Every structure is written in C-alpha cells, then in structure tokens.
Amino acid sequence: MRIYFGIRHNKEIQWPDRCLWCGNKSDKWHIVSKKSIYDFEYRVFWYNILSRIRTIAYPVCKKHDIIAFILTPFSRIDIPFWALCTAIGFFLAFMHLSPVIEQSTIIWWYLICSLIIVGFLFFDRRGLQVHKVTERFTVISIPDGEYATEFGLLNNCNTIDGRLLMQQDN
Ligand SMILES: [Zn+2]
C-alpha cells in the first residue's frame, strides 16, 4: 500500500530527518527525476515534444543510498505490475518459439526476467516514486506508514483529491 501526494511546484519539500527506506539516521540524498510529456506541437515538417521535468532529492542512509542507486532503472518504470508480467510472459514465449535463439541461452533470459520482477517488487514496496509532473504539481508516492504520515504533516498535504493527498497552495 502506498500513499500518493500532490506536491506543488512552488514549494520546497520538507522531509522527516531520517532515511525514507528504514527510518535510520540519514546521511545522503538520493535523487529521483521524472519527465512527463504533456503535448506535441505539430508544425509543417516537424513537431516539438513538450515535457516537464521535476527532480526530487530525498534522505537515505548509506546502505539505502546504494540500494536505491542499483534500483534506479526500476524507479523509471511507471507501469502496473500485471502489465510488466504480461510483457515478460510474451517475451519469454517468443524466445521459446523463435528458431534462431539457442535453447541454452534462454535460461539467462529467465534469470534476467526474474531479476527485473524481484527488483520491481522490491522497489515498488520501499522507495519514493515520482509518477507524474502536471502543470501545477508533481505526483509522488511513499509507502504507507509513520514516515508517510509525518511527510504529509510537514508539507501540509491535507486535501483529499481522488487518491491524492494534495498540498495546500498558500
Ligand atoms: Zn535506510
């Protein structure tokens, strides 16, 4: 279970003074950034992709700084778990049916795919995720618990908007 927050662009984020992953003393900042594409501008011969980027640094201990770094590729995956599993299933089925792929190399693909799933599950449960950058706020999520409650209080996220706890705009 994760708690979703809507953080305004004009506000600095306040963090509880400890590691987001384990609650121990923090001595590093882990940086997460997210780019959301919001429009295409069509011209006669080309188009511009319009996007917004938000970079967020959050406190971690030494150990989780390393783990968060290793799991960075997974933090960029913003798709539901079932969709990831379906895609991997199709990929493995394709590997089995393909006549050009050696059967002996398939075992490596199984290993790589299970690592992807384990990494995804691990990250999904523990770290900070930045989901979307909209015109006026950024959607992030934190695992449910004491840390998320404290984060909500520190940042005045007290307006419920769908699944989001929205930060006050003053
Ligand atoms: Zn930690």
For 32-79, the pLDDT digits (tens) are 888 888 888 787 778 888 889 999 999 999 999 998 888 877 777 667
- Distance from the alpha carbon of residue 23 to the mean position of ligand 1, in angstroms: 6
Give the pLDDT confidence score for residue 68 in this predicted structure.
Answer: 87
Nearest to 57 by CA among 12, 119, 8, 25: 12
CA of 19 to the centre of ligand 1 (A): 5
pLDDT at 7: 94
CB-based contacts of 72, cutoff 8 Å, min separation 6: none
Q: How far apart are CA 103 and CA 89, in angstroms?
A: 17
Whole-structure pTM value = 0.76
Question: 138 C-alpha to center of ligand 1: Å?
Answer: 24
Q: pLDDT for 88-145, tens place per residue?
A: 999 989 888 888 878 788 888 889 999 888 887 877 777 888 888 998 899 999 999 9
Q: How far apart are CA 143 and CA 163, in angstroms?
A: 14
Measured in Å, residue 4 CA sits from the centre of ligand 1 at 21
